[in-house]
Structure 1
Amino acid sequence: MRWFIATVISIVLVSSVLSTEVDDDEPFLEILARSTIYNTGERKAIFCRGKNLVEPIKWYSPSGKLIEAQSLKNKRVYVERIVEESGEHAPLIIQYIKIADNGNWTCRSGDLSETIQFIVGEKVNITNRNVEREGEEGKSIVLTCEAKGHPTPVVIWYKENSRIPNDTKKYEHRADNSLEIKNLNHADVGLYVCKVRQKALSYYTDKTVRLSVLHKPILYNNFTGTIDTTKYKTEEVYAIMNETKNITCSAIANPPPTYTWYRRNNGYDDDVPITDEEMVVTSENGTYSVLILRMRDNSSIGEYKCTANNIKGKESIIFHVNPAAKPNKPDFVSFLYANTTTLTFNVSCSSCPMELEEDRSPDPANLTVKGYSFQMVPAQENYPPDWDSAQDFEVDITDPNDTLFTVGPLANKTKYHVRIRSCNAAGYSEWVYFETLLETSHADRIIAAIAVILAAFTITSYF
């Protein structure tokens, strides 16, 4: 232990020089440390020095117990004495500080005494700060947060950066800092974080739990992203004769579902499974399945059922396929301006219905146009456009009075062949081809375009 004392002596000597000077003959006593926070497990040597003392320096614990010198029975907390010409030093040695060492420690010699306060803290130690848990639909799960420390830490649970409230039917914050989630469902999937803070120790840590839930398939609309909560799920589908119609059946499920498609037999229960592999394409991750209908004649009109199934259950939806007319193509198309990665157009269709209050107009012969489809092909000198390799951009109409549509991202400083068509619930119109090549612009041309627009706005406002 001599090496430990020797290491600290140099610090003590420096502190002695900096301490307040006193009369050479006047007795004095001081502790060469300040009250502070110590962590459990640390080793500390707290020096008390004195001069011209009548009695030897003694140390007392917070309980008033006299601290003895080191011995075989007294190895953790003890006092050593160093006597020099400059005076007496009595270091209090504490090996592996404990929570029990909290309190006021007193250095005393006769009527002179000094006190130092020990605030001992134990930092929270979470050994595994990233874990994965899996629950089961309809059951509960407890997410643990091993936040043991001193002072008692403050623990707050979050889901996806939102604080989880206390005292709800869904969540229960337990006394051991764990979180119980009740009646699990698909919406409970996500990242949960317990954030732990010990303010007195200026210490922070956290634990992240990635929760998955085994649950039956939940059908949702692939285009709107909305979940169908009705018991008997149906959807109207419009198709253009002599064209191909793709019907998408989408589901959220864990484990991933399998899909089965049926052709309904005039509304009877004896549905006929569709076994033609060329008619069905299912994603590898099981998030959707597509039925490919080639609308050659009226025999393709009718009802089709999609069933998504896994070990937790199954859900079905019936698609009513109805014939509908192809939308009219745009009757006005003009190019407005370009920037480095986008092209902006003015597009309208005066003969197209655009009642956005409803999903579609009631007349299958004149369905609501919901947007425009753009295709872009980089131009190659002396070669016609390869439309099979075109970039597709679907742009929704958000306001019937707004006819400006920006398409991108595109490659900078690139010339493109462009064609545009209308789209509704049944499909697409004929293409409208832009006769000239269009080029994405340099950044300096964007600034120039903005300057022109601002100038026009200023003139208009003036008049």
Structure 2
Amino acid sequence: MRWTTAFLFFGAVATVLSTEEVSDESEPLLHVLARPSTFNAGERRAIFCQGRNLPHAINWYSPSGNIVGERSSTNNRVYVERKVDNSMVMVPLIIHEVKVEDSGSWTCKAGEYNETIDIVVGIKVKFHNRQTTMEGDEGKNAKLTCEAKGYPLPVIQWYKDGKLLTDKTSPSKYAMKKKGDIYVLEVRALTYEDIGEYLCKVTQKVLSYYTDKTIILSVKHAPVLVGTYKTVEEYAAFNATKNITCSAIANPLPSYQWYRRRKNFDTEIPEEDTIFTAEDGTSSTLMLRMDKEEAFGEYKCKVSNSKGSETVIFDVSLGERPTSPDGVNLIAANSTHLTFNVSCAACPIQQSDDTSPDPKNLTVIGFDFELTEVRDDYPPDWDKKYPFEMLIEESEDLVFAVGPLPNSTVFHARVRTRNLAGESDWLEVQPDPATTSRAVTLSLCLAIIVAAFIATTY
């Protein structure tokens, strides 16, 4: 019989669990070999009750007070079996496919002797699909649902991009509701800021159980300009090329139109070779050739999709390119980075978030570094360069760690100054800098560790 093996297994468990020693084996004994337990619905369980020297037969009683009978053709889910082991009588209560209705107090009784065990049967919440997507419209509400059917009732928590949401987080933005087993997070008046990952976290503490469901929300919304204002001041040097970029996020993907504005009259600029729009729709760049005075002035970028449009005006004025750096010194090198100190006495360095309004003395916003590997008997091949744009973060610190770069390599290097009008001429770095080998770096690290160990030992 299928349960014979299970019976022997649980009998062995019962023997191990039975730790009570009775000094007088002639005394009556009745004991349930289990503690109050929590079971998962659908499991198979056997709970042993042992007795010795009892004047009456051992019986199990259900939470409703009914005696549990032995297995039969009509009683094959909840029943008892009996076994005598020497002087000890073992009576397991066997439950096939435990149900929530089986929760309660089960009593093992023999005459005036009895012992009760409390059982809690739970149903774990299961998600057929733990990740879903949905899309909402700007200005409307979105209802994110989490069907969490389980027992005992689960505790539900909502998160957005890892941040816990509560009723107090933003009552005007979020509302949490429950309809039966369905938990709803309503996100009101959708904007692009509501785009993200929402997590429905389910906890059933009694069952020591946790699961979750992720809902990825996208929002159809009008274009939103990125990193710019409605009007932007730009500077360009004469006889130079000036690129101005219009960036936006939008769903559906936006289209870009560029206009030349004169006296508040707009003339659309044809794409030809002057407009470059990113395939993902996040930006569009207008390339201007500043070879005549008429090229300076206002340019308008219009970003549109089916949800709306935004515009930004770029006011391009004549400005002077910065002067080249006075000098560049290599102050450190390792296997992946070269660290340079740049000096530029004539450079107006940024002192705050504002840049200089003087077109002839524009604030320096950073330095461009280019490095290319040295090849014996060949001039520098700047088409195979490692380019780095370094921004100035502190006005008194013009030290820049440039990399990552290949190790054990000698480079031609050059640097130039950058402001809003353009870039200076290049200044070549002398002598040619070189990265170290990884072996040297590791050896140095080991030497430092050994020295530190010796110092602490002695």
**With structure 1 as the length reference, what TM-score do the two structures score?**
0.88
Q: How does 1:136-155 map to 2 (within 5 A)?
A: 136-155=137-156
User: Hey, what does 2:451 align to over in structure 1?
Assistant: none
SS in 2 for 1:183: coil
Q: Deviations over 1:399-430 (max 9, x none)?
A: 22212222111111111111111110111011
AA of the residue aligned to 2:116: T
State how far apart, in whole Å, the 1-side matches of 2:317 and 2:12 are.
Answer: 95
- Would you say the 8 A contact 1:78–1:93 is kept in 2? yes
State how far apart, in whole Å, the 1-side matches of 2:253 and 2:33 are.
Answer: 67
Alpha-carbon offset, residue 12 of structure 1 = 1.5
- Would you say the 8 A contact 2:17–2:33 is kept in 1? no
Structure 1, gaps ≥5 residues long: 222-226, 451-463
Q: How does 1:22-421 map to 2 (within 5 A)?
A: 23=24, 25-82=26-83, 86-167=87-168, 168=170, 169-175=172-178, 176-221=182-227, 228=229, 233-268=230-265, 271-421=266-416
Identity value in percent: 47
AA of the residue aligned to 1:156: Q
AA of the residue aligned to 1:94: I
The yes-or-no answer on 1:435 pairing with 2:434 is no
Structure 1 residues 72 and 428, CA, compared in 2 at 3 Å: closer, same or farther? same
AA of the residue aligned to 1:399: E
State how far apart, in whole Å, the 1-side matches of 2:247 and 2:5 are.
Answer: 74
Structure 1 residues 94 and 245, CA, compared in 2 at 3 Å: closer, same or farther? same
Structure 1 residues 291 and 17, CA, compared in 2 at 3 Å: closer, same or farther? closer
- Would you say the 8 A contact 1:5–1:45 is kept in 2? no
Q: Deviations over 1:359-390 (max 9, x none)?
A: 32121111111111111111111111112332
**With structure 2 as the length reference, what TM-score do the two structures score?**
0.89
* Bigger shift: residues 202-211 or 434-443: 434-443
AA of the residue aligned to 2:236: A
State how far apart, in whole Å, the 2-side matches of 1:49 and 1:174 are.
Answer: 49
SS in 2 for 1:196: strand
Alpha-carbon offset, residue 273 of structure 1 = 1.3
User: Hey, what does 1:453 align to over in structure 2?
Assistant: none
Q: Deviations over 1:254-293 (max 9, x none)?
A: 121111111123222xx21111420101111111001010
* Bigger shift: residues 153-162 or 403-412: 153-162
Alpha-carbon offset, residue 435 of structure 1 = 3.5
Instruction: Report the aligned-residue RMSD.
Output: 2.4
SS in 2 for 1:277: coil
SS in 2 for 1:9: helix
Structure 1 residues 18 and 389, CA, compared in 2 at 3 Å: closer, same or farther? closer
Alpha-carbon offset, residue 18 of structure 1 = 6.8
State how far apart, in whole Å, the 2-side matches of 1:178 and 1:36 are.
Answer: 32
- Would you say the 8 A contact 1:29–1:113 is kept in 2? yes
Structure 2, gaps ≥5 residues long: 446-458
SS in 1 for 2:97: coil
* Bigger shift: residues 143-152 or 185-194: 143-152
- Would you say the 8 A contact 1:338–1:446 is kept in 2? no
SS in 2 for 1:402: coil
Alpha-carbon offset, residue 128 of structure 1 = 1.1
State how far apart, in whole Å, the 2-side matches of 1:87 and 1:428 are.
Answer: 96
Alpha-carbon offset, residue 214 of structure 1 = 1.0
